[in-house]
Amino acid sequence: MKKLFMTLVIAMMAVCAQAQVYLGGTVGIASIGSQGGDDETSFKFLPEIGYNLNNSWAIGTTIGYRKGTFSMLNNKLSNANDVKAFEISPYARWTFYHSKMVNVFLDMGLGFASGEANHVDFTAFNVGVQPGVAVNLSKHFTFVGKVGFLGYEEMNPEGDNNNTHAFGFDVNGNNVQFGLYYNF
């Protein structure tokens, strides 16, 4: 067991030494109030890890938790005021514009979420493309912004035959993400 652990540590150090691994993610909190309605606080914690295959391609995944509203293309759960979900979203990133300070990319991936909305369990699935911009702040830190989604989404409430399917393009203030990466 000790040898296996040391081998894994050495392998991880070798991968990180090549400056191809990045670690970061998105953390967000919002307070939403409406006149005559309930106030809502939502948050998300979505850590991300990725590996740069070359200058133009990377692979990675986000794994995390969100509480609050759960937005789909057709806003099926936009009125649900008690949504809690665990999600995982692996992706392939294609960076098609490079400069010294700014890179523009497309994340092509699929996502899976499992959670509860108003005391009803649900699963959700999506596959699509999300554009983004990476600003290199230093050798090790990168600010990342993502906006929008183009693709297919599906939500399946448990015990309900009212499954929701949507295909489309979604760009709005609820679908903007900002994050920070540390590049090894």
| Reported pTM | 0.78
| pLDDT, tens digit, 9 for 90 and up, residues 142-180 | 999 998 889 999 888 887 677 888 888 877 666 678 899
Average pLDDT over residues 75-102: 83
Arithmetic mean of pLDDT over the chain: 83
Average pLDDT over residues 4-31: 70
SS3 of residue 4 by DSSP:
helix
Question: Among 79, 149, 145, which Cα is nearest to 117's?
Answer: 79
pLDDT of amino acid 1 = 64
Average pLDDT over residues 54-74: 82
Predicted confidence (pLDDT) at residue 78 exceeds the cutoff of 60: no
Q: What is the topology classification, in CATH, of domain 27-33+40-183? A: Porin (2.40.160)
Percent of the chain with pLDDT over 90: 46
| Domain ranges across the chain | 27-33+40-183
Better-predicted residue by pLDDT, 156 or 63: 63
26 pLDDT band, cuts 50/70/90, is confident
String of DSSP letters for 71-130: --TT-TTTT-S-EEEEEEEEEEEEEEEE-SSEEEEEEEEEEEEEEEETTEEEEEEEEEEE
String of DSSP letters for 26-65: EEEEEEE--TTS--EEEEEEEEEEEEE-SSSEEEEEEEEE
29 pLDDT band, cuts 50/70/90, is confident
Written as six digits, the tokens of 24 are 């970061």
